Structure 1
Amino acid sequence: MKNQLLPAIRLTLVLLVVCCLIYPALVWAGAQLAPGQGLGETVSKNGRVVGYDNVGQKFDRPEYFSSRPSAVDYNAAGSAGSNKGPSNPEYLGTVKARLDTFLLQNPGVTKDQVPAELITASGSGLDPHLSAQGAYVQVARIAKARNIDSNTIKSLINNNLEKGVINPDRVNVLRLNLALDNLASASR
């Protein structure tokens, strides 16, 4: 028994040092080299942090681009999907309610024009991006709410597109909404 107990204790102590001290120290040191020192890249407006570059947040006022829905109510501490499949009646009801709400808020848009990303949550529940189509389908509502020409808003989308190599072109919703605010400030 002594021949088995001492190696087990030694292995436990070595793994404790590796897993609880060395590995976390290496991860922390690597994070210090990343932008934001591992805290994420913040987005500021007028010297005040308004969000994080890679974490989605809710925009529900008509003069802003809507984000992708979140299964975790945009809580980064609880990143997760809904874990409900496309045949789940509760999930289908949620998606239908989101579609109905979107169509109500965006008159003139038909059901076929609404991309799935605007009515379904991402796997993390925190996706900060929309496809170009997801942004363009909202232009008429925003143009009316802000009393701005729709071509100006389309240009703003084009100027904020992140070109995809493997993925389709996409736009960061927070940055796009901040650009909208800057556009409104510049026209005053």
Structure 2
Amino acid sequence: MNAILTSLRLSAATILICVVGYGAAILALGQTLTPNTANGSLIVRDDGTVVGSRLIAQSFIRPKYFWPRLSAVDYDSASAGGSNLAPTNPALAERALPRLAALGASDSAPAPSDLLTASGSGLDPHISEEAALYQTARIASARGIQTEAIEALVTGAAFSPGGTFTDGRIVNVLELNLALDRSFGGQ
């Protein structure tokens, strides 16, 4: 009987140390060193309203906004996952056709592939700088402003995710759309 009580005490102590103690220590460390990241990299307006996360894509369908990559999970973070469709699968082409039409793509102005395909998670918040620049004419027309002004906004927001080790530059769609509204009005 004494051995059972000893093993129960040891199990309780192990659970307390490994689950509660370790969890609390990691939480405190994250909140102290990187509070924004630990809380989900939320984007907050000046009035305190949370508009989204820098890490998770949102759906934008109005012509006056940049559109993100397609999502195989309808931008639902609880069911994140890619489409798992091969490039030769006809279903992939069928899914891209409505987006091609909405983008006004043509043989002379083909749409960048990241505007026609889902990311691995279905929630990638970034598109290539090329994909953002491809959309500037539509946005300028919808907002009644010069394309060059929007192109300058895209160029200013673009960054290399791997620093100097990668070729392509990307933009965060939500941050870019918020910058559009700040610069040219919106809502």
SS in 1 for 2:75: coil
Offset of residue 80 of structure 1:
2.5
Aligned to 1:159: 156
Offset of residue 8 of structure 1:
7.3
Aligned counterparts of 2:116 and 2:108: Cα–Cα separation in 1: 11
Aligned to 1:39: 39
Residue type of the partner of 1:122? Answer: S
Offset of residue 155 of structure 1:
0.7
What value does the CA root-mean-square deviation take over the aligned residues? Answer: 2.9
Aligned to 1:17: 16
Aligned counterparts of 2:7 and 2:86: Cα–Cα separation in 1: 48
Does residue 60 (structure 1) correspond to residue 61 (structure 2)? The answer is yes
Distance 1:10-1:45 versus aligned 2 partners, 3 A rule: closer
Distance 1:37-1:129 versus aligned 2 partners, 3 A rule: closer
Aligned counterparts of 2:37 and 2:24: Cα–Cα separation in 1: 14
Gaps of 5+ in 2: none
CA deviation vs aligned residue, 1:22-72 (integer Å, no higher than 9, x gap): 321222122212133721222233512211122111111111110112222
CA deviation vs aligned residue, 1:95-151 (integer Å, no higher than 9, x gap): 323422222122254487322221222222221111101111111211221122111
Aligned to 2:26: 27
Alignment of 1:94-173 (within 5 A): 95-110=92-107, 113-164=110-161, 165=163, 166-167=165-166, 168-173=168-173
TM-score by length of 1: 0.79
TM-score by length of 2: 0.79
Residue type of the partner of 2:52? Answer: G
Gaps of 5+ in 1: none
Residue type of the partner of 1:62? Answer: P
Q: Is the 8 A contact 2:114 2:131 kept in 1?
A: yes
SS in 2 for 1:125: coil
Q: How many residues align?
A: 180
Q: Is the 8 A contact 1:129 1:171 kept in 2?
A: yes
Distance 1:87-1:96 versus aligned 2 partners, 3 A rule: closer
Aligned counterparts of 2:59 and 2:173: Cα–Cα separation in 1: 10
